[in-house]
């Protein structure tokens, strides 16, 4: 079989088994897992699902400890926008903490497992302190700055009180914004959210009691809610995934993946590097993330 014949065969299989599912009436399911970052492909996927006439509702399946505050903000806003055209349900699996919960709060309805983890409402700014290490190896960094607070705090020397105050002001401003976001999205009093927003995490059961979750369960509970919004419970739930690096090829990402298995070689190096690196390695700026064994999100 020639390569062209193989390509034609794969293209036909993809169109037959993968294509029609999004063209028929269905419920779109979008996975949001791992560390939250400013993910343009995910934003576009949410926008496409919101605009799709065939997708009668959107389910976002969340398993995330959080990530960058800005990344969570952008995804939150995209889902709030999607709610204008169709119901959105957050399905919390293992964990939706910090920016992960920020995203969950954007939904019309939140469903979690009884032992799922939710909460950790707060913001943190972290930086490494390498001064002692540099002293041991005899390295010193000198800097000439336009003003004392430029590039502060620095990992190369102790932060001044002015630098700490500057960063703390930013953290608290973002914290207030996060609290207001949850209060508005969950239709809760701000004082009620503040009582929960000390960095604490909760089980799904506790989240239901304190207003952070609407129901415990899974697909049955999701379908039950969507039915109250006019979405029939016999619709198929279809996974929507963003295109990978091969999506610009003639066949698209689904066919490229199948070709990879047939031909035994990756079609892009970047995918392999990302896989070996374990995804996003570094987070910059303000972070809303739950860390096991770390400090609370708010001092």
Residue 270, number of CB atoms within 10 A of its CB: 11
Catalytic residue among 145, 150, 164, 227: 150
Euclidean distance between CA atoms 67 and 287, whole angstroms = 6
Euclidean distance between CA atoms 295 and 261, whole angstroms = 44
Catalytic residue among 61, 98, 120, 154: 98
Euclidean distance between CA atoms 73 and 174, whole angstroms = 11
> Is there a catalytic annotation at residue 146?
no
Euclidean distance between CA atoms 60 and 76, whole angstroms = 11
* Phi and psi at residue 217, to the nearest 5°: 145, -145
> Is there a catalytic annotation at residue 150?
yes
Residue linked to tokens 């969340």: 62
Contact 63, 290 (CB under 8 A): no
* Residues that are catalytic: 98, 150
């Amino acid at each position: 079989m020639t390569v062209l014949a193989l390509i034609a065969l794969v293209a036909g299989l993809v169109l037959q088994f993968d294509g029609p599912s999004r063209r028929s009436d269905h419920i779109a399911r979008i996975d949001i897992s791992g560390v939250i970052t400013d993910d343009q492909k995910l934003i576009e996927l949410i926008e496409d699902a919101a605009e799709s006439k065939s997708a009668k509702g959107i389910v976002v399946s969340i398993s995330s400890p959080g990530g960058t505050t800005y990344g969570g903000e952008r995804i939150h806003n995209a889902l709030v926008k999607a709610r204008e055209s169709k119901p959105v349900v957050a399905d919390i699996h293992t964990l939706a903490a910090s920016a992960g919960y920020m995203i969950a709060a954007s939904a019309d309805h939140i469903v979690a497992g009884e032992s799922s983890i939710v909460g950790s409402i707060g913001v943190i700014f972290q930086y490494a302190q390498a001064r002692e290490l540099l002293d041991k190896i005899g390295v010193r960094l000198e800097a000439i700055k336009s003003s004392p607070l430029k590039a502060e705090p620095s990992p190369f020397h102790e932060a001044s009180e002015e630098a700490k105050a500057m960063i703390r002001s930013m953290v608290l401003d973002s914290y207030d914004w996060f609290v207001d976001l949850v209060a508005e999205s969950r239709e809760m009093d701000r004082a009620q959210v503040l009582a929960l927003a000390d960095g604490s995490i909760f089980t799904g059961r506790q989240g239901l009691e304190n207003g952070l979750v609407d129901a415990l369960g899974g697909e049955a509970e999701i379908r039950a809610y969507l039915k109250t919004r006019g979405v029939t419970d016999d619709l198929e739930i279809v996974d929507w995934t963003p295109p990978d690096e091969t999506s610009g090829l003639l066949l698209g990402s689904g066919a490229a993946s199948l070709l990879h298995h047939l031909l035994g070689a990756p079609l892009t190096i970047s995918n392999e590097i990302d896989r070996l690196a374990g995804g996003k390695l570094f987070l910059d700026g303000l972070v809303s993330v739950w860390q096991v064994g770390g400090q609370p999100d708010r001092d």
